[in-house]
Structure 1
């Protein structure tokens, strides 16, 4: 973690949360006690922030400064508010293009996906607040700076984001090998949101139940799946192909 992208100390972290700083994750010393620490824990739960309890040695590796048992990773990118962002896109475009990531955890995969999404004209990327890869220096580097050029928004639950998009007449398409239809049989010219799943588990079953369409990529070799960033590139460029055609 780069020092410029972190905050350490109990009071400093509380103030950062209250100031709505874009926090990736908060690392808390395991077994720490005290009123100020309890106040921080309560605030983390209230805001739905990602956190984990770690040994003192882990915190000492993250920073040489006096961390008081708390180190917070700050995103170099400012996240936008979901509802406001969606309304803005839909009011400006007749064929909005969204990308939802269901718990992508590898920062380099995330960066590569951001880069491709920006190149394909995706209007916004939607990720869950917890359980997703943070935007780190590695993410920025892998995205070739695209993370600064495309709006990214965090939501409490992807299911709620899906219902909201559907209420705005955005067709939600899950890229999954479990689908019967191939991607090439779908109409992706109108407003749509593509969902890509986690590297190991794919898209969660609860999300697959509520999407408008499932779509798979034809696999002609012996390997049964693609790297998620590669698969995402293929899917997004099919949207581009249809819209240009």
Structure 2
């Protein structure tokens, strides 16, 4: 009989699922407290999880597949779940220090991204494109939960985050530090190709429905847009973020 699956909610801990997120949690040396494997699970990713867990002395418990499904809920868990330390945020001195020590910082500011799948996809692209920090205000934002971790494919464990009390204060601080602050706003006259994205930049991406709010746009130094020729008015937030981030990467590679 397999060991009974026991889970005790602990403050500041996060319960995640999926093979790649757990591999990245281990590879990044994020604190992993325990791993649960479904009985008989095999295939890609399971070997690395076992090896990394053994190297880091992380206990693994084998449980029944139905037990694991009940534990994580109605999600595709790929036969594995883990208890890890909750994701941490930079404090204000740490965030300002990051801005001061990078010659051309690239900051991604998120304005009320509420869909955790979109947030996870944005984080995955941001990590690939070399974003130094993702910043946002707590109000109106999706939490950095297990869905975000899974959708990001574990990129959350390599990305820095800063949570401000107020997004307008945040943009003011970025302006004060000399960054170009650009709100991504459909219909803006300045296309992303014409903006100096290879310099110190903060890109502001808005929510799926409203985009960047008008008061936030007014706080930014400028607005940029992605050229569009179709009839649909706007792109999904994560797709828009990917397009402008890869344009930013293209410009930076040409320096």
- Equivalence for 2:87: 77
CA deviation digits over 1:148-184, x for unaligned, max 9?
1011111111100000111110110000114221111
Q: In structure 2, how many angstroms separate the alpha carbons of the residues matched to 1:161 and 1:169?
A: 13
Aligned residues: 182
- Equivalence for 1:230: 239
- Name the SS for the 2:209 alignment partner: coil
| Contact 1:117-1:236 within 8 A present in 2 as well | yes
CA deviation digits over 1:97-148, x for unaligned, max 9?
0000000000010000000000000000012112100111111011011111
Q: In the alignment, which of 177, 180, 189 is matched to residue 189 of structure 2?
A: 180
Q: In the alignment, which of 150, 153, 156 is matched to residue 165 of structure 2?
A: 156
The runs of 5 or more residues in structure 2 that have no matched partner are: 1-5, 15-70, 72-83
Cα pair distance change 1:220/1:128, threshold 3 Å: same
| Contact 1:5-1:75 within 8 A present in 2 as well | no
| Contact 2:124-2:155 within 8 A present in 1 as well | yes
- Equivalence for 2:114: 105
Q: In structure 1, how many angstroms separate the alpha carbons of the residues matched to 2:8 and 2:234?
A: 35
- Equivalence for 1:167: 176
- Equivalence for 1:204: 213
- Equivalence for 1:215: 224
Q: In structure 2, how many angstroms separate the alpha carbons of the residues matched to 1:87 and 1:5?
A: 37
Q: In structure 1, how many angstroms separate the alpha carbons of the residues matched to 2:124 and 2:147?
A: 13
Cα pair distance change 1:76/1:225, threshold 3 Å: same
Find runs of 4+ consecutive structure 1 residues off by over 4 angstroms. 3-7
- Equivalence for 1:240: 249
Cα pair distance change 1:80/1:182, threshold 3 Å: same
Q: In structure 1, how many angstroms separate the alpha carbons of the residues matched to 2:8 and 2:190?
A: 43
Q: In structure 1, how many angstroms separate the alpha carbons of the residues matched to 2:8 and 2:129?
A: 29
- Name the SS for the 2:120 alignment partner: helix
Q: In structure 1, how many angstroms separate the alpha carbons of the residues matched to 2:7 and 2:166?
A: 29
TM-score (norm 2): 0.66
The runs of 5 or more residues in structure 1 that have no matched partner are: 8-15, 24-61, 63-73
RMSD: 2.3
TM-score (norm 1): 0.69
| Contact 2:112-2:206 within 8 A present in 1 as well | yes
- Name the SS for the 2:219 alignment partner: coil
- Name the SS for the 1:101 alignment partner: strand
| Contact 2:95-2:162 within 8 A present in 1 as well | no
Q: 1:89 deviation in Å? A: 1.8
